[in-house]
Structure formats: C-alpha cells, structure tokens
Amino acid sequence: MLLGGCAGDEELPAPRLLDERAGSYRGVALGATEARVRVVFGEPGEESGFAPLGSTFRDVGGPPAVRVWPPGSMLQKALSYDGVAFLVGTDGVYAILVTEQARTRRAVAIGDDLSRAQRLYRVGCGEGVAGERIGGGVETYPTCKGTIDGRIRIWFGEDPIRSIAIARVAK
C-alpha cells in the first residue's frame, strides 16, 4: 500500500494540449496579439531567437523554416518563455514552438519517437540543418513536417521528439 506523499507516489502533470487544428496553445491562438501572449505568459525572457528560454533552436530541433506572417512583412518578434516560444508579426502570433510536456490532438507528445508522428500525421521527414560542424560539413537533426487542413504547418523535431511547432501557412 502506498501512502499519500511518499516517494514514488508523485504523478507527472498531464501533458498540455497543442491544438494543431485550432492553432492554439495554453490560451494563445495563432493571430493573437503580443499583449495577449503577455497576459497569459507574463513578461518574456531576455534571450533572442525563436526558442524557449534556456535552449537553442538547434538543441530542440526547431522547424527548419518558418515564413514570416503576413508574407513580406518586415516586423517580427520572438517571445521566449520556459518551455514555449512565440513568433509575432504585424498580424499577431504566427508560430508557436513548444518543448515542455505537451501533446497534439492526435496524442503525439514530447518524448515520443518521431516514427509515431510520421505514422499518425503522414508527415514528410528528413534532416533539418542545425549549423556547420567544426572542421567542415553540416550538422543536421531529424525533423518531420506536414500541413493541417491546408492552413497550419506542423513540425516535430529530433528523435525522440524534443519540440513540436505550428505556424500559419501562406496562401
């Protein structure tokens, strides 16, 4: 018999839903204003780049290419928090990158094998470019990408999955 509060009795929090069909995460949807992101998540960290605090884009296998929204817009800002980052342009949030314990509507979660995402989403998989290796060559990471309902792009990065990202698709 286990007693409440004893070691080994703690449960991990349930993964949060990254809703790829609605294009939303934890109360922030694609198109939301920067002010909305700040209301939900607070002030972003000082780090620059599209990656959650304490991580780099290459560490988490972020999406190899995210188009600025609206197309041709010169304004963009990355807002970084623990476990999540947002890209915001003139028309609001256009990309969300999650590394904290999260899952999609089809129950693909951070920590799952990339083959699970490939099977459940029928996404195309390949190698994303992480940068140049010391001494030459290119460093890559495994990534899969697909499109949801012709309007939202989804990416899964690394194997096992370390990041899930969604973004608006240009028309």
CA neighbours closer than 13 Å in the CB half-sphere of residue 123:
26
Mean pLDDT of 38-64: 91
Alpha carbon distance 141, 121 (integer Å): 19
In the chain, where are the structural domains located? 27-168
* pLDDT reading at 11 higher than 90: no
- Rounded to a whole number of angstroms, the CA Rg of the chain reads 17
Tell me what pLDDT residue 139 has.
84
Tell me what pLDDT residue 152 has.
95
pTM to 2 decimals?
Answer: 0.89
